[in-house]
Amino acid sequence: MIRTMRALGATAVVVASCLAGQAPAEAKQLTLCWAAWDPANALVELGKDFTTKTGIEMKYEFVPWTSYADRFLNELNSKGKLCDLIIGDSQWIGGAAENGHYVKLNDFFKKEGITMDDFMPATVVGYSEWPKNTPNYWALPAMGDAIGWTYRKDWFAKPEIQADFKKKYGRDLAPPETWDQLKEIAEFFQGREIDGKKVYGAYIYTERGSEGITMGVTNALYDWGFQYDNPKKPYEMEGFVNSPEAVKALEFYKSLYKCCTAPGMSNAYMSEGLDAFKSGQVAMQMNFFAFFPGLYKDPNVGGDKIGFFVNPKEKYHYTQLGGQGISVVSYSPNRDDALAYIKWFAQPDIQKKWWALGGYSCHKAVLNDPGFAKSAPFASDFLKSMDMVKDFWAEPAYAELLLDMQKRVHDYVVADKGTAKEALDLLVKDWQKVFKEEGKI
Amino acid sequence: MSTVTAHSVAEPSSLSKTIGGIIVATYAVIAILPLLWIFLTSFKTPTDSISYPPKIISEPSVEGYVNLFTTRTRQTPEFLASLPPPQTWYERLVRSRNMVIAGPSKVVPRFINSMVIGFGSTFLAVCLGTIAAYAFSRFRVPLADDLLFFILSTRMMPPIAVAIPIYLMFRNLGLTDTKLGMILLYTAVNVSLAVWLLKGFIDEIPREYEEAAMVDGYSRLQAFFKVVLPQATTGIAATAIFCLIFAWNEYAFAVLLTSGDAQTMPPFIPFIIGEGGQDWPAVAAATTLFFLPILLFTVLLRRHLLRGITFGAVRK
Amino acid sequence: MSTLAERADARAPRRLAFRLGAMSDRAIAWLFITPSVLLLLAINIFPLLWTIQLSFTNYRANRPNAPLRYIGLDNYRDILSDPDVWHAMQATAHFVLWSIVLEMLIGFGLALLINRRFRGHSFWTTMILLPMMLSPAVVGNFWTFLLQPQIGLFNSAVAFFTGADPSSFQMIGDVALAPWAIIMVDVWMWTPYVMLICLAGLRSIPDYIYEAAEVDRASPWRQFWSITLPMVMPFLMLAILFRAIENFKMFDMVNLLTSGGPGSTTEVASITLKREAFEKWRTGYSSALAIILFVTVFGAANIYVRALDRVKQR
């Protein structure tokens, strides 16, 4: 009898301690998914404010860019519950909206008084809307980004360099405003000895695996007059993708690659560019604005040694859009908490802090502030660039369109296959096939 | 009782032996050079690792290892001055680069995943493989040759090809990105290797032992467990190590079917990013650490290496 | 005398021992083989059948709710008439062929030299073995670092020995050199494999054959051609079989080294497959491609094994 009582007692104690160990309500937590880069670290810092204000712990899932799309598109396609919030690439909007991965935010915005007029129009179209140019919002613009250029201000400032350049080209050495000027400067620096080392002219994107060379070549294509389709007749690409101007632009990009870039940069995207610029190999580098805060702080090439300029112009003046919007994943079990994060993030003072920490806010309160242009050496270039951005397809089938362009462009520019016209003609055929399968033509 | 040269019984002259030795040693040095360079790189600073032209001698630093195990954010000097002084040597190192440690990196969970999935699948594969190999070795199984070839042919499909339906299967069963799913997958792939290797080992154990035991009253199963298994321990150990090496180094399935919780080291190492660029000292550090267990096993396994890499078809 | 049986009875749980012990050999055989076969059926055969089924449809894994349509042999027709697929097969064949030729020549040569047992040979042999034990993905990744013209070891080393400018050539970005870059890295990794196998083959040749040849006053060269080579041939052919199968399936090392570039110069079949299946999500199409690849390898391996058997019998 006593033994049974003791046994029962022991069991009761064990059970009680198990139950007591369970908190009355589970500690709230949100997981935010993004790419692993500098701005993500800044977001972690910023997120501490959210935790202080709401008590919700933030967990982060950061994946390097090269596997970012694979990883998270996989996750969304498998209806994964890992991410409550996701800062997805601007091109995912179409697929995410049509396949029900993102929560539509219109009602939430209306309820909380968040209006898209507070954000720069280019970012709203680029990061939030699907279909484009309709008031259907699937994300809050989170990270404004575009392609810009950096250059070695200290090299440009050397008197002997300036004298040489003036002698050769008859004008002063200054950051280029047109593509022809950029090529001249690149040719000038190509193979030159500076500080005892051989340096090279320019660094441009040439990555084959994910989206690199496309994100690079579009900067040239747009400026010559390339268009994705007939503005009056959607999905009609013949004559717009492979127009004579587009062919010229593609040939120019290849000539720039062949004449004036560092050897070995045949599969190079953002990180190789940073390596090349930081190790003093190139005079000018094409890269996303997102990296410029970090470059400016770099001990080797930052501070006074670095300068910035916007994408040069040709007949038109555009730059390739980067950046992302933040969305709520529809499979998340913590939808209300996730929406609370979005509400917190959209506040002007949080947006100001976001910019100060190294993120690129899209909020007009930050960008239109009179002090913005002076707040960082690249700030005014960023403003200028965001006014002239153009983006790749954001269709649900964007991945196939992107991979086709990657292949055709890389085949021509790096692998010397065929002519520019042939590459673009084949691209039109590829894209027509995709759209036919999609039922769009 | 083996020849000392391949073309004559006569002992080769010591000159020709030396020349041969020098050629082999030269090849070995060239083959090892990349590995040494990676090892050296793990002790360079990130700036030195991408120095142009490459530096052979540079100031040694354990930044690579610190960077591997932590995530850091770059801060302005003013912010750094406002923080309390660094407590540990690694924090001091990170602060000296104008950065702050934000937390641990994912390398330890990934390493643990590699170990769990590696050892788990190895254990299962060896268990299943031992008993199947015993059956093939001792009993006259109908269609044995065909079954064995079938088992071998499962290794002829490119992993990507198998991954397509496996991905769909796992998605439906909720096994994507789980350690259990990966263990099952690697077990299935390793079982073929295990059966072939263990059959060879068990073939070499004379049947007389278990037959004597059975005469003495043991059942077949008891004979298997008490007589054959102890004798097969070396073979089982060797097989286990080969299965482990395969699971340890596997990339294709890991990158397609895992992304977070169950991700192992091979998909993790090539994507260790520093400040924008790939953090080469950290990648080198990860490569070195990841290779150490295999290095140990290679040395332990030298006698059985040949058998293992040829599915038991070739024995020394 | 009866201690064994007594001890056995005493130790084993009585009823279980009786039941299991009463199992016939045949039952045990099936019990032992079935788990492995079942596992292989589930993870290998069932997916293979599913792949075959998918190859006749237009299924896309990223649109699981779209209606499934059976389109017969359309996928196969598309694949076999696509010049890019043929190009990928060509790139794969080039890779397999040259990597095997070089591994054979270097591996066999090293085996011949090591077989002489010079001083320290076992140390050097272990050194040569190390590259084989690395993960191919990690190898592909750090070789991009080594092959970078400005900051990498390879170009500087070549420049040191030949006096050429380290930036004057690039292995990975050059259309002519990239296929050789992947071959070089593969040879670096797997020559020890062939070497070990040839070594085993050399050591298996019994002395008396050579003694007989000496008696017949055959020259060393003649002995090599008529004794050594034929007796090592089965081993060599086995090495070739395994290496060929592995290199045909090769994905990780090449993908991380060149991403299939420049353009599609080194886009081996597995990379094409991965892009179609997991980036474009054309599941039906890529299933057809997977079947074609598998049939190719399986058929070739079958023919080869038959030839190998014939060589062995000689």
ipTM of the complex: 0.84
| Chain A residue numbers touching B171 (CB-CB < 8 A) | 78
Task: Tell whether C90 lies on the interface with A, counting CB pairs under 8 A.
Answer: no
CA B199 to CA B196: how far, in whole Å? 5
B273 has a chain C CB within 8 A of its CB: no
Residue B273, beta-bridge partner list: B278
Q: Which of A409, A414, A433 to mutate to test the interface with C (most CBs of C within 10 A)?
A: A414
pLDDT in tens, B206-258: 888 888 888 888 888 888 888 888 888 888 888 888 888 889 999 989 988 88
* Contact call for C249 and B156, based on CB within 8 A: yes
Q: pLDDT tens across C133-159, in order?
A: 899 999 999 999 899 888 888 988 888
Residues B206, B241 within the same domain: yes
Contact A363, A345 (CB under 8 A): no
pLDDT above 60 (res A13): no
Residue at B41 is within a domain: no
Q: Domain spanning A29-145+323-387: which superfamily?
A: Periplasmic binding protein-like II (3.40.190.10)
Tell me the pLDDT band of C10, cut-offs 50, 70 and 90: low
Whole-structure pTM value: 0.84
| Kind and range of the H or E run holding A66 | helix A65-77
Could A272 and B176 be called an inter-chain contact, meaning their C-beta atoms sit closer than 8 Å? no
Tell me how many degrees the CA angle C1-C3-C7 measures, rounded to the nearest 5. Answer: 170
Three-state DSSP at B14 gives helix
Are B250 and B168 in the same domain?
A: yes
Over residues B288-311, mean pLDDT: 80
Q: Note the pLDDT tens digit of each residue in C277-290.
A: 888 888 899 999 99
State the average pLDDT over residues A247-271: 91
Domain count, chain B: 2
Query: Residue B82 has what pLDDT?
Result: 83
Residue that wins the pLDDT comparison between B271 and A203: A203
Say what the pLDDT of residue A24 is: 41
**B117 shares its domain with B84:** no
pLDDT of residue A27: 64
Task: Provide the pLDDT for residue B273.
Answer: 76
Question: Is the separation of the CB atoms in A295 and A302 below 8 Å?
Answer: yes
Asked if residue A19 has pLDDT above 50, the reply is no
Q: Which residue of B has its CA nearest to C46?
A: B165
Distance from A367 to chain B by nearest Cα, in Å?
A: 22
pLDDT for B12 equals: 66
Give pLDDT tens digits for B118-160. Answer: 999 999 999 999 999 998 888 887 787 788 778 777 878 788 8
How confident is the model over C199-247, as pLDDT tens digits?
888 888 888 888 888 888 888 788 888 888 888 888 888 888 888 988 9
pLDDT-based confidence at residue A153 (cuts at 50, 70, 90): very high
Higher pLDDT, A284 or A4: A284
Nearest residue, CB atoms, C258 vs list A95, A267, A412: A267
Helix (H/G/I), strand (E/B), else coil: A350: helix
Nearest to C43 by CA among A181, B231, B315, B181: B181
Mean pLDDT of chain C: 85
Residue intervals of chain A classified under CATH 3.40.190.10 are 29-145+323-387, 147-320+397-438
On whether both B137 and B231 belong to a single domain, the answer is yes
Does residue A65 contact residue A296 with C-beta atoms inside 8 Å?
no
Q: What is the pLDDT of residue B1?
A: 37
Closest chain B CA to residue A357: B75
Q: What pLDDT score was predicted for residue A282?
A: 93
Residue B112 shares a structural domain with residue B248: yes
Residue B71 shares a structural domain with residue B150: no
Three-state SS sequence of chain C: CCHHHHHHHHHCCHHHHHHHHCCCHHHHHHHHHHHHHHHHHHHHHHHHHHHHHHCCECCCCCCCCCCCCECCCHHHHHHHCCHHHHHHHHHHHHHHHHHHHHHHHHHHHHHHHHCCCCCCHHHHHHHHHHHHHCCHHHHHHHHHHHCCCCCCHHHHHHHHHHCCCHHHCCCCCCCCCHHHHHHHHHHHHHHHHHHHHHHHHHHCCCHHHHHHHHHCCCCHHHHHHHHHHHHHHHHHHHHHHHHHHHHHHCCHHHHHHHCCCCCCCCCCHHHHHHHHHHHCCCHHHHHHHHHHHHHHHHHHHHHHHHHHHHHHHC
Verify that B127 and B254 share a domain, yes or no.
Answer: yes
Kindly list the partner chains of chain A, i.e. chains with 3 or more CB atom pairs below 8 Å.
B, C
CATH superfamily to which A147-320+397-438 belongs: Periplasmic binding protein-like II (3.40.190.10)
Closest residue in chain C to residue B158, using alpha carbons only: C249
**Strand partners of residue A307:** A151
Taking residues B266-278, report their average pLDDT: 80
Domain that holds residue B75: 46-105
- Contact (CB<8Å) B32/C127: yes
Last residue of a domain, one of B73, B88, B105: B105
Residue among C9, C28, C32 nearest C20 (CA): C28
CATH class of segment(s) C75-313: mainly alpha
Mean pLDDT of A337-341: 92
* Extents of the domains making up chain C: 14-54, 75-313
Return the pLDDT at B266.
92
pLDDT, one tens digit per residue, over A380-425 is: 999 999 889 998 988 888 888 999 999 999 999 998 999 999 999 9
Tokens of C38: 């079942």
How confident is the model over C94-115, as pLDDT tens digits?
999 999 999 999 999 999 888 8
C contacts of A73 (beta carbons < 8 Å): 62
Contact: B277, A294; criterion CB under 8 Å? no
Query: Taken in order C23, C25, C26, C31, is the CA torsion positive or negative?
Result: positive
- Report the percent of chain C where pLDDT is more than 90: 27
List the 257-296 stretch of B: residues with Cβ below 8 A of A. Answer: 259-260, 267, 271, 273, 275-278
Q: At what angle do helices B159-173 and C283-313 cross, to 10 degrees?
A: 130
Nearest-CA distance B156 → chain A (Å): 26
Which has the closest alpha carbon to C134: B254, B122, B106, B31? B31
From chain A, the residues in CB contact with C167 under 8 A are: 198, 262-264
Rounded to an integer, what is the distance from CA C156 to the centroid of its chain?
Answer: 31
Pairwise pLDDT comparison (C298 vs A183), residue with the higher score = A183
Query: What is the residue-wise DSSP string for A105-122?
Result: -HHHHHHHT--GGGB-HH
Confidence category of residue A14, pLDDT binned at 50, 70, 90: very low
Q: Which two tokens stand for residue B258?
A: 């895992």
